[in-house]
Amino acid sequence: MVLMRIRDIHKSYGDKTILKGINFDIKEGDRIGFVGNNGAGKTTFANIIHGSLSSDQGEIEVLNQTLKIGYLHQSSDYSVNDFLEVVDHQSESQVFHHTSKLGLAKVKSWEKDRMAHLSGGEKLKISLAKVWASKPDLLLLDEPTNHLDLVGLEWLVNELKAFRGAVVIISHDRYFLDRTITQIAELEDGLVKLYNGNYTNYKQQKEAFYQSQLHQYEVQQKKKARIEGQIANLENWSEKAHRQSTKQGSPSERKQMGLKEYLRAKAKKMDIQVKSKRKRLESELEKNKVDKPKEETELKFTYQQSAKRGKRILEAKDLEKRFGDRNLIHKSNFYIKQGEHIGMIGENGCGKTTLIKMILRKEHPTSGMIWMSESLKIGYLSQDVTDLDVTKTPIQATGITDREQMSKARTIFANIGLKEDKLNQPIQALSLGERTRIKLVMMLLAQVDFLILDEPTNHLDLASRESLEHVITEYAGTVLLVSHDLYFLEKISKKLLSFEKSFIHRKEMSMKEYLERKNRIEEKVDHEEERLLIQNEITTLLGKISLLSKEDETYKEIDQRLNELLKRKKELQ
C-alpha cells in the first residue's frame, strides 16, 4: 500500500538548486536508507516530506489522510521542560517504557538538575522515546545513531524490525544501515537513484555499475580514436592531393594536365570520405554515447608523526570523579602506550567525555591522578566542534601567515572537499560537517602525536568517513577514540577502554572481539535463566503428575509436556 507519492520535487536556496525533480513512492513496510554527501539535500528533503518545509515545485500526495509522521531531527537538544511536556501530552507509561528499554530506567525519578546535564546520547534516547510514544505510521529518522550507545542501538534495531509502518532513515552509519534497511535512495546532483538491498549491496551495485560504464566508455574511446585516426589519414592524403593538384611544376609537368585533374578529383573524393566518416562518427557517438563515469571524490587526510615517545604516554592511578552524590568514575587504573589506537566504549552518560576533559586538564579528578608524558602534543576534536572561533574564516583559524604554508593549507582544504568560496566565509556560516573537516586540517598542520577524537564521524558523510577511517588506520601516532559508529570503531581500535559500572577497564581486544564475547556471555546468561525456568516447571509438573493415573487424559498432556521440557533442558546443557 502506497502511503505517499512524491512527484517532481524541486528546492533552491538563492542561486543554488538542491533538489532537481525527485520522484518516488513510500509504501507501507518500506525500509529506505537515504545517503549522499554533506550538503546534498537529505535533511531538506526530509523536512519537505514532514511538511515543515515547502518545496519550490512539485507535490507530495498523502494517500492515507490520517498518516502520522514521527520525525527525529538530526539535532535533538531537548531541555527539561521539553521532556516534561512530552510526558504531559503523551502516554506517560509509553514514554517511560521506552526510556527504560533504552537504558534510562531511572529517568522517571531524575531531578531537574540531573535533567539539565544530560549527555548527547541521553538527550537522543529521550527524543527517540518521544517519537515512538507518538505511535507513527511513517518514521523519519535523521542520523538516529549519533551519540547512541550499544544498549540504545540494539533497542533501535529491534524496534525497527518490529515496526509495521514505513521507515526513511538518513544515516552515515554503515553498520546500522546494513542491519535495518532494504532499499537505498542515493541523493546526488539533486536527483534520487534507488538501489535494492542494504548499504553493502548498494556499494557493490555502485562499483559494478562504475566498472561496467568505465569499460563501455573505454571501448567507445578506442573506437573513436581508431575512426579519428582514419579521418586524420584521409585529411593528410587529401591535403597532399590538393597541394599536388595546384603545384606549378616544370614545363614538361605542366603538359600533363590530365594528372592534375586526376589529383584534383582524388582530393575532392577524399574530402567527401572525410565528411562522411566524420558524420558517421558523430552520429554513432550521439546514438551510443557513454559518458565517462563520475569518480568518487577521494578525500585525502594525511598526518606526519612527531618524534617517538616513551612506551607509556598516559597512566591513570586510582582515578575517581564524582558530581555531588553521583560517583561517575570509581578507583580506576589503566594506561595508554605510544602508537596504540584505543576505543572508549560505554553507555550514554557513563563518563567518556568527562575522562577526555580530565586528560585535557579541563576537569580535575576528585581523587587519584592521570599522568601524561610532558612532551605529548595533543590534538582534540570535540563532539560538536565547539572550540573553533566562528567569527574567523577557515584559513584564519589555522593561524598561518606564511605564504607557502597557506598554499599547502588551501590544497589540504580542497582535498577534503572544502571549496575555495567556503574558505572566505566565516566558520559560523558553515555546517557541522564542514567545521569537523576544518578542525581535522588544523590538527594535520599542527602535526600532533596524540589524537583524541570525540565522535569524529557524527557530521561527516560516507565518503569522508571512509577517507578518515583509512588515514587514522595508517596514522602511526596514538589515538583515543569515542564513537558510536561500530564499523568505524572496529576498523580503528585494536584495544578498548570499557566503562562498566563506574569502573574503567582496559581490554586487549578489538570491538568485534568484544561484541562476540559480550554476546556469548549474554547467551549463556539467557540459557541459565531458561534452564532455571524449565527446572521449576518440571518440578511443578512432576508434583501434579504424581497425583494422576496413567489413564487420565491430563496425565498424557503433562507427560508430553515433561518430555518436551527434558529435551530442551538437554539441548541447553
Q: How far apart are CA 53 and CA 41, in angstroms?
A: 12
Note the helical H segments in 456-510.
Answer: 462-474, 486-492
What type of residue is 134?
Answer: S
Q: What share of the chain is helix, strand, coil (3-state, %, to 5)?
A: 50, 20, 30
**Where in the chain are the domains?**
2-197, 217-287, 312-509, 516-572
- Judge: domain 312-509, CATH 3.40.50.300: yes
Nearby residues of 257 by Cβ (< 8 Å), 6 or more positions away: none
Q: How far apart are CA 145 and CA 36, in angstroms?
A: 17
pLDDT above 50 (res 536): yes
Report pLDDT for 260. Answer: 60
What type of residue is 379?
Answer: G
Average pLDDT, the chain: 81
Report pLDDT for 22. Answer: 92
Report pLDDT for 140. Answer: 93
Task: Give percent above pLDDT 90 in the chain.
Answer: 28
pLDDT above 80 (res 114): no
Of the ranges 93-107, 147-161, 295-309, 475-489, the best mean pLDDT one = 475-489
Report pLDDT for 117. Answer: 56
Task: Report pLDDT digits (tens) over 39-74.
Answer: 788 989 999 999 999 999 999 999 888 899 999 887
> Rg for the chain (alpha carbons), in Å?
33
Report pLDDT for 80. Answer: 45
Report pLDDT for 453. Answer: 92
Q: How far apart are CA 170 and CA 424, in angstroms?
A: 30
SS (H, E, C) 410-423: HHHHHHCCCCHHHH
Q: In this structure, are strands 450-454 and 378-381 parallel, antiparallel, or unpaired?
A: parallel
Fold: same for 2-197 and 312-509: yes
Task: Report pLDDT digits (tens) over 8-32.
Answer: 999 998 888 889 999 989 999 999 9
| Strand partners for 321 | 329
Task: Report pLDDT digits (tens) over 418-457.
Answer: 778 888 889 988 877 788 888 888 887 888 889 999 988 8
Report pLDDT for 7. Answer: 94
Report pLDDT for 459. Answer: 76
**Stronger pLDDT, 107 or 332, i.e. the higher one:** 332
**Stronger pLDDT, 430 or 303, i.e. the higher one:** 430
pTM over 0.75: no
Report pLDDT for 442. Answer: 85
What type of residue is 217?
Answer: Y
Identify the CA nearest to 306 among candidates 482, 443, 398, 400.
Answer: 443
Report pLDDT for 116. Answer: 53
Confidence class for position 275, pLDDT limits 50, 70, 90: confident
Phi, psi of 410 (to 5 degrees): -60, -40
Of the ranges 68-82, 223-237, 395-409, the best mean pLDDT one = 395-409
Mean pLDDT on 239-257: 59
SS (H, E, C) 124-136: HHHHHHHHHHCCC
196: helix, coil or strand? strand
Confidence class for position 181, pLDDT limits 50, 70, 90: very high
283: helix, coil or strand? helix
- Fold designation for 2-197: Rossmann fold (3.40.50)
Half-sphere exposure for 140 (CA within 13 Å, toward CB):
20
Poorest-pLDDT segment among 299-303, 351-355, 455-459:
299-303
Q: How far apart are CA 367 and CA 332, in angstroms?
A: 10
Q: How far apart are CA 539 and CA 532, in angstroms?
A: 11
